[in-house]
A = this chain, B = another copy of it.
Amino acid sequence: MKRYTIKDLARLLQVSPSTISRALSDHPDIGDKTKKRVRQLADELGYKPNYLAANFRKKNSKLIALILPEINMFFFPSVIKAFEEKIHQAGFSLIVFHSNNSLEREMENLELCVQFSVDGILLSVSSQTSNLEHLSEIAGSIPLLLFDRVIPNDAIATITIDDRKVAYQAVEVLMKKGHKKVCGLFGAPNLHISKERAKGMQEAMIDYGVTPESDFIIYGTKKEVMTQLINLFDVSRYPTAIFAMSDDLLVGIYQLLAQHQLSIPDDVAVICISEGDSPDFFFPKVTYIKHSGEEVAERAAQMLLQLIEKKPLLNKNQLIEPQLVMQDSV
């Protein structure tokens, strides 16, 4: 049950610790027979290297941090899964922090990243985060990549979907079907992602000669958004189409529409931006623009690993192409 160290192996094999160290890391200087002896003994005794010691010595931790503003059920799980997968393949482990949309906790988490000497950080900012003052310093010492909820800048690398375009594409589908009364549901109003998507919606409408109506552009938490939507219904102000900028909002309106006995797409057309699971929960299946957490995570991992290896990024601010998935709700 005792944990053997390199010194133990050295003593047992009557060689020096450095020989063991080198043999275990397959150093070319060490002879094949020595390597064999060392490996065999290591196996026998169940020798496990002590990362704490090695990482301390080498000043890296083999940890990559993921800081999330929230953990919803739609987008972030697939990010966690795909990101863990990718960095694991590259020999890193994943340390997950949760800022709960608090700037203070975001900073606290970043501090922990420094203390743990993580090798890289993938961050989606909290809804309270409006600038990157607190990031500029840390970005100087640890590779940092912003994703999904980003703050546009040219100092820190980012990867995100083209928010304006994705919303534009969604609403364009509705425009092409001739909808005039379109209601858009968005997240927290101070988030760049919400603002961009709302802009995309309005641009699409204007390009198709439709005037956006301000009370049909709704921002907030899921609950707030639903309340406002109910208020509209209560005064018989019904849209002919609804655009939801997230899965979370989609599942909210679904329940509401059914309660009001509005059928999809006959009474109300529905389109959303989605990770891709929830549109298939419903019948008819919902038409959506795919925003794949998996793709974001994979590309983020690739970028971050490049930064860690100090390879230059071809493009510091990467955009993911949205992709329309036509189903039956429009």
Contact = CB atoms under 8 A, between A and B. Distances in A.
A246 to B, nearest CB: 13
Contact of A71 (B80, B254, B258): B80
A48 B141 CA distance: 13
A55 interface: yes
Interface string A62-105: 01000000011110111011001100100001111110100000
A238 interface: no
A85 B105 CA distance: 11
A116 B80 contact: no
Nearest to A59: B52
A228 to B, nearest CB: 19
Contacts of A85: 98, 100
Contacts of A97: 84, 88, 93-94
A131 to B, nearest CB: 19
Interface residues of A, number: 53
Copies of this protein in the complex: 2
A138 to B, nearest CB: 10
A116 B52 contact: yes
A8 interface: no
B283 A117 contact: no
17 contacts: A48-B114, A52-B52, A52-B56, A63-B95, A71-B78, A71-B80, A76-B77, A84-B97, A85-B98, A88-B98, A93-B116, A94-B97, A95-B96, A254-B281, A258-B282, A278-B281, A281-B281
Interface of A: 1, 3, 48-53, 55-56, 59, 61, 63, 71-74, 76-78, 80-81, 84-85, 88, 93-98, 100, 111-112, 114-117, 137, 140-141, 251, 254-255, 258-259, 277-278, 280-283, 285
